[in-house]
Amino acid sequence: MIRSVVIVGGGTAGWMTATYLKATFGDRVRVTLVESARVPTIGVGEATFSTVRHFFDYLGLAEEEWMPACNASYKLAIRFENWRGNGEHFYHPFERLRTADGFTLADWWLRLGPHERRFDESCYVLPALCEAKRAPKHLDGTLFERSLHDGGDRARRTTMFQQDTQFPYAYHFDAALLAEFLALHGADLGVRRVLDDVVEVRRDERGDISEVVTWEHGALTGDLYVDCTGFRGLLVNKTLEEPFESYQDVLPNDRAVALRVPVDGAQDGMAPYTTATARDAGWIWTIPLYGRIGTGYVYASDFCTPEEAEAELRAFVGPRAADAEANHIRMRVGRNRRSWVRNCVAIGLSSGFVEPLESTGIFFIQHGIEQLVRHWPDRADDPHLARGYNESVARCLDGVREFLVLHYKAATRNDTPYWKATEERALPDGMAERLQLWESRLPSDSSVHPYYHGFEPYSYAVMLLGLGRPPKHPHPALGLLDPGAARAAFAEVRREAERLVAALPGQYEYLTHRMR
């Protein structure tokens, strides 16, 4: 029976894993986390999926407890700017498509065009809230969509696999502050924290990890070891020599440079969305936190040098970036062949990473942790449970890879060498056939990546329509149906959006009122 776990590495991945395992098993499993005070964390994973609310609910943490400590804000969508090369934008919201007579409003939008309003404005409520910089909650703390379960109910411990609706928001937060907050919470739960440097990882005669040797505390032993050492992969790659399978044949971005820029939320307000702005050799993220923004340029080193990327990012931000220190990051894009090897499980960047687009880093951590609990073994090297875990993690990463490839493949621009290369780049297995299907019909449950990866068909439809690659023709059946119900649904979306914009507070106002 697995009764003791040693986690190597802190940061977001390490402390999310430690606190979740203690929240799950309590004193029945000993959890030790060893981290070096001298090894910096990446610390720029500041935007999330809506599924992350289950993590905080599972730990019994209300937003009023953790959000202020992490300078957190709400995220209703991702705003894509200039991905067609013409300065236009569209939103990918946390909101499913409504239907009329069995067809989505996106199908009806194609049928009833041309339009004065963008598809996202016509089909969704959340883009209007984003444009007006609204919070998703009223000042009394109630969610704007009262039919949805609000994440503040501590009595309901759920996982991401129990999310049967599309919850309307996620979060932005300072990843370093979140790790510090969870470290304190972990101490309350009984996690043993060891601040020390790992100097050696030893294996026994079978090849399993037998102990982790630290400089001051000596050897640390456990039944199961969790590698949260980031791109280094100290346990899974360097010690157990598990091969890493690169995604760079289809996703070439391998570098980033990030800045932390102060802002005045009282004067400027606070946008409730992440912005992804396409540039000559990649794209720039803008993430609004309470008191600052996080921004960074993700690029392919084949098309841009670090010096050029930093200069372009500083010019993009403007004078506020003058005193900001740049953090240059080399990204390892891809996944391990296996994330569970012998008695070691890799979680977070040591398992896999698919560049920051669509904010999947924290999602992969949460998915890996939940899958570990679902596959919890009697002994650490159970081959059947390890196989199931590895299949789930690999399929999830591969699915996100395909969704991100769609962003570049469908982007209707070829104005720089970087964007021209996207037309010639290879596709993941099976994606070419799916692209052909989407030329005739919008994506559906039966035509997207078949395994769980966090993205639903509506997300694929958003990207195809927003990037300028709709189906060649509207669905033929709609030409034989009365469009009255669809027109009424579009009108209701607009009325609801106008009502909510008038009723909801601004995000900065809400966070200042409720969280400060």
The predicted pLDDT at position 148 comes to 65
Beta strands at 327-330 and 224-227: parallel, antiparallel or unpaired = unpaired
pLDDT(155) > 50: no
The predicted pLDDT at position 151 comes to 46
CA–CA distance, 224 with 231 (Å, rounded to integer): 20
pLDDT(132) > 80: yes
User: If you average pLDDT over every residue of the chain, what do you get?
Assistant: 94
pLDDT(242) > 70: yes
The predicted pLDDT at position 152 comes to 46
Contact by Cβ (8 Å): 343, 364? no
Handedness of CA 174, 177, 178, 179 (dihedral sign): positive
Q: How does pLDDT run across 426-468, given as a tens digit for each residue?
A: 999 999 999 999 999 999 999 999 999 999 999 999 999 999 9
pLDDT range class, residue 4, cuts 50, 70, 90: very high
Question: Mean of the pLDDT values across residues 152-157?
Answer: 55
* Token pair of 33 as six digits: 């986390």
| pTM for this model (two decimals) | 0.96
The predicted pLDDT at position 149 comes to 47
| 203: exposed, middle or buried (Cβ count in 10 Å: 0-12, 13-18, 19+) | middle
Nearest alpha carbon to residue 276 among 509, 108, 486, 78: 78
The predicted pLDDT at position 12 comes to 95
How many C-beta atoms surround the C-beta of residue 505 within 10 A? 17
Nearest alpha carbon to residue 224 among 329, 340, 145, 142: 340
Question: Mean of the pLDDT values across residues 21-35?
Answer: 97
Helix 105-112 to helix 457-466 angle (10° resolution) is 30
pLDDT range class, residue 154, cuts 50, 70, 90: very low
pLDDT(153) > 50: no
Give the side-chain half-sphere CA count within 13 A for 163. 23
The predicted pLDDT at position 158 comes to 85
- Options 22, 75, 133, 409, the catalytic residue: 75
Contacts of 43 (CB under 8 A, 6+ apart): 11, 175, 176, 327
* Token pair of 492 as six digits: 């209701």
- Phi first, then psi: what are they for 101, rounded to 5°? 55, 40
The predicted pLDDT at position 40 comes to 67
Nearest alpha carbon to residue 33 among 217, 242, 279, 161: 217
The predicted pLDDT at position 156 comes to 66
How many C-beta atoms surround the C-beta of residue 102 within 10 A? 9
What percentage of the chain carries pLDDT values higher than 70? 96
Q: How does pLDDT run across 310-325, given as a tens digit for each residue?
A: 999 999 999 999 999 9
How many C-beta atoms surround the C-beta of residue 66 within 10 A? 20
- State which H helix or E strand residue 116 sits in: none
The predicted pLDDT at position 340 comes to 97
Nearest alpha carbon to residue 339 among 23, 13, 29: 13
For the question of residue 420 being annotated catalytic, the response is no
**CA dihedral defined by 413, 332, 459, 409, rounded to 10 degrees?**
30
CA–CA distance, 413 with 62 (Å, rounded to integer): 44
The predicted pLDDT at position 41 comes to 66
Q: Which amino acid is at 156?
A: R
What percentage of the chain carries pLDDT values higher than 90? 90
Pick from 159-168, 232-241, 383-392: least confident: 159-168
CA–CA distance, 228 with 375 (Å, rounded to integer): 18
The predicted pLDDT at position 44 comes to 60
pLDDT(164) > 90: no
pLDDT(399) > 90: yes
Rg (the chain; Cα; Å)? 23
Question: Mean of the pLDDT values across residues 365-387?
Answer: 91
